[in-house]
């Protein structure tokens, strides 16, 4: 289904890595003339700031909270050219590296860190709604914590093996290795950490629509999302 017009309101896109969440969220935002926010990039950029500060990414403490409160993070919400900047530096490539990937779950599990970034995310969402009308927000706790009143919540899922294969392909394409066995182990570790943390564990909101992407192409998922925004009356 081809939807013309502009998105009004918030589409909350949640789910673990490798479900195609980033790709379809950006495409949905571009198709519906909406803003786009990757909250995972914010946690990754903060993790990079923690690591650059010489702190232990595996056991972040009060110092990480201070970085979260004062860190100079900037998220560009243009879906055609999204960017994440740290003190003015574009760090999109660096935050996808192995060092940040290994530490991001521990840093983002610190309650005060999450509180600081959730507030920033809500501010960005409110700004985008005021200036643009609508926004597609992706992450792991968007529908359950960040914007629980979003008119459309979607939780993408897929098997560990499928998600690991997709992630490995992305890594190889970006020149970051992509050994399937290592990526599968990393996916399982990240899932375990994100789903068992005490603050905002990763899970589908009770009223989220769960969409299994195992056998769906990006175009298939996008088509379903477009059907949903049309059905909810979010595009005019």
What pLDDT is attached to residue 163?
85
Task: Give 65-78 pLDDT, tens digit per residue.
Answer: 777 766 788 999 99
- Calculate the alpha carbon distances from 129 to 10, 113, 225 in Å: 8, 24, 19
Q: Cβ(6)–Cβ(32) under 8 Å?
A: yes
Confidence (pTM): 0.88
What pLDDT is attached to residue 57?
66
Regions in the chain scoring below 70 on pLDDT? 1-4, 56-62, 69-70, 176-178
What pLDDT is attached to residue 1?
47
Looking at domain 9-225, its CATH architecture is 3-Layer(aba) Sandwich (3.40)
What pLDDT is attached to residue 160?
85
Domain boundaries, the chain: 9-225
Task: Give 195-234 pLDDT, tens digit per residue.
Answer: 777 777 778 899 999 999 999 999 999 999 999 999 999 9
Q: What are phi and psi of 114, to 5 degrees?
A: -60, -40
Q: Which two tokens stand for residue 118?
A: 């959730």
């Amino acid at each position: 289904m081809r939807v013309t017009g502009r998105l009004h309101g918030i589409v909350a896109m949640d789910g673990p890595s490798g479900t195609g969440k980033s790709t379809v969220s950006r495409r949905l935002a571009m198709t519906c003339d909406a803003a786009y926010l990757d909250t995972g990039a914010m946690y990754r950029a903060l993790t990079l700031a923690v690591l650059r500060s010489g702190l232990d990414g595996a056991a972040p403490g009060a110092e990480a909270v201070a970085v979260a409160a004062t860190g100079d993070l900037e998220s560009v919400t243009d879906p055609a050219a999204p960017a994440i900047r740290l003190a003015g530096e574009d760090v999109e490539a660096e935050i996808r590296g192995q060092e940040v990937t290994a530490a991001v779950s521990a840093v983002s599990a610190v309650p005060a860190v999450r509180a600081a970034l959730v507030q920033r995310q809500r501010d960005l969402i409110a700004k985008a709604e005021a200036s643009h009308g609508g926004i597609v927000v992706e992450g792991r706790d968007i529908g359950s914590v960040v914007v629980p009143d979003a008119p459309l919540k979607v939780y993408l899922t897929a098997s560990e093996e499928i998600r690991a294969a997709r992630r490995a392909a992305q890594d190889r394409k970006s020149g970051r290795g992509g050994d399937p066995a290592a990526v599968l182990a990393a996916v399982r570790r990240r899932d375990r950490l994100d789903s068992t943390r005490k603050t905002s564990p990763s899970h589908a909101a009770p009223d989220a629509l769960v969409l299994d992407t195992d056998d769906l192409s990006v175009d298939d998922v996008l088509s379903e999302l477009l059907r949903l925004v049309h059905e909810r009356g979010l595009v005019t």
